[in-house]
């Protein structure tokens, strides 16, 4: 892999030594990514522009998706689910979970496909290959914040108890984005080698939704299983924290959120290492 050499070969220009035999350290990879942060932003801006270019409703689509699902869930599921400890109306809970969940889902789908969608660029231009993936995740973040705006506007009508804890949505979003990025780079890298990933993904994401507290609150899971649940599925702890801080006006459960955070960071790190390990041959295989 490439490494910025300290050896001054030319009179004034820094020398770059390229060797294909080693993967870069995480630190070196992140430094290289930081150098290309403008490029990540450029990918994100392009994705947003392209997405809304020909959509008549434009940004309204970001509102239609959560609202439609909210109505559906409320009509179909509300009576079957008993909300014990959160005791907020079901629509408030469902909307507080749907907005971060839709971000996770859309970001993972867009991020996983991003590298292949830009395969022409990968074959012609050098850049850290995670740039289009992270750009796609960033582009999806806009919908999340539109969704949060929608939530704040609807909160009085769906019976949410908005309080100061709502501000926690910012750090929780960062964790969600890290989780989405970690999953996306891992699946995106595998997608280059195994095109099956693309076909399995929509189904897997659906399963993930039902395995996460989106339709039902975390409190419906027996307490003794909750620790294992949020450790295996970091989305669960994050979504529960969203529900508590946005809908119930309570602080998140520190234990559950902590476990989910640990798993999220682990997913991010493992995903990135996997990506960097597979990255050197991307241009040859894609």
Partner 1 sequence: MSIAVRFEEVSKEYRPSRARYASVRTELSALLRWLVRRRRPSGGPLERRRALDRLSFEVQAGEAFAIIGPNGAGKTTALKLMARISLPSAGRIRLCGRVGALIEVGAGIHPELTGRENIWLYGRFVGMTRAALAQRFDEIVDFCELAYVLDEPVKTYSTGMQLRLGFAVASHVDPDILVVDEALAVGDAAFQAKCSERMAHLLRLGRTLVLVSHNLSAVEALCARGLLLIEGRARSLGPVHQVVRDYIDWVDAQHHSAARPAGALLRGGGLVLTRLTAHALDGDERYVFRPGEGIEVRLTVQAETAIRSPWFSLGVSDGRPGALIMCSMLERAEAFDLAPGEHQLLCRLPALPLAPRAYELWLSVRDASGAVDILDWSCVGSIRIVDPSPPSGPGALSAPWMYGPVRVPFEWSKG
Under the rule (CB under 8 A), what is the footprint of partner 1? Answer: 1-2, 5, 9-11, 13-21, 38-39, 42, 45-46, 49-50, 53-54, 118, 120-127, 193-196, 280-281, 283-285
CB-nearer residue toward partner 1: 240 or 279: 279
> Residue 142 Cβ, how far from partner 1 at the closest point, in Å?
17
> Residue 39 Cβ, how far from partner 1 at the closest point, in Å?
6
> Residue 147 Cβ, how far from partner 1 at the closest point, in Å?
24
Burial class (CB in 10 A: 0-12, 13-18, 19+), 81: middle
CB-nearer residue toward partner 1: 1 or 30: 1
> 249 phi and psi, to 5 degrees?
70, 25
> Residue 188 Cβ, how far from partner 1 at the closest point, in Å?
16
> Residue 24 Cβ, how far from partner 1 at the closest point, in Å?
11
Compute the C-alpha angle 148/247/233, nearest 5°.
Answer: 80
CB-nearer residue toward partner 1: 227 or 281: 281
Residues 127 and 39: beta-carbon distance below 8 Å? yes
* Coil, strand or helix at 213: coil
Distance set, CA 124 to CA 132, 134, 282, 284 (Å): 14, 19, 12, 11
Tokens of 148: 């949060």
CB-nearer residue toward partner 1: 45 or 270: 45
> Residue 133 Cβ, how far from partner 1 at the closest point, in Å?
15
CB-nearer residue toward partner 1: 75 or 120: 120
CB-nearer residue toward partner 1: 42 or 150: 42
**DSSP type of residue 163:** -
Q: How far apart are CA 237 and CA 257, in angstroms?
A: 5
- What sections of 118-168 are H helices per DSSP? 119-124, 131-158
């Amino acid at each position: 892999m490439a490494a910025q050499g300290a050896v001054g070969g030319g009179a004034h220009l820094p020398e770059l030594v390229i060797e294909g035999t080693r993967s870069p350290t995480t630190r070196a990879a992140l430094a290289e990514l930081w150098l290309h942060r403008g490029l990540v932003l450029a990918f994100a801006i392009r994705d947003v522009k392209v997405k809304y270019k020909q959509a008549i409703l434009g940004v309204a689509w970001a509102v239609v998706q959560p609202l439609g699902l909210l109505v559906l869930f409320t009509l179909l599921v509300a009576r079957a689910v008993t909300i014990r400890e959160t005791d907020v109306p079901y629509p408030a809970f469902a909307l507080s979970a749907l907005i971060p969940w839709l971000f996770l889902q859309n970001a993972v789908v867009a991020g996983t496909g991003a590298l292949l969608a830009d395969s022409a660029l990968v074959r012609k231009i050098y850049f850290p290959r995670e740039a289009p993936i992270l750009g796609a995740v960033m582009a999806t973040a806009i919908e999340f914040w539109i969704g949060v705006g929608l939530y704040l506007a609807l909160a009085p009508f769906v019976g949410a108890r908005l309080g100061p804890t709502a501000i926690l949505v910012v750090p929780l979003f960062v964790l969600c984005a890290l989780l989405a990025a970690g999953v996306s780079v891992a699946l995106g890298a595998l997608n280059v080698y195994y095109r099956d990933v693309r076909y399995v993904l929509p189904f897997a994401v659906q399963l993930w939704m039902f395995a996460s507290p989106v339709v039902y609150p975390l409190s419906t899971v027996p307490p003794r299983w909750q620790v294992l649940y949020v450790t295996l599925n970091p989305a669960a702890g994050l979504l529960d924290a969203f529900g508590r801080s946005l809908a119930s006006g309570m602080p998140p459960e520190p234990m559950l959120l902590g476990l989910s955070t640990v798993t999220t960071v682990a997913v991010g790190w493992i995903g990135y290492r996997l990506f960097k390990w597979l990255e050197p041959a991307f241009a040859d295989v894609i």
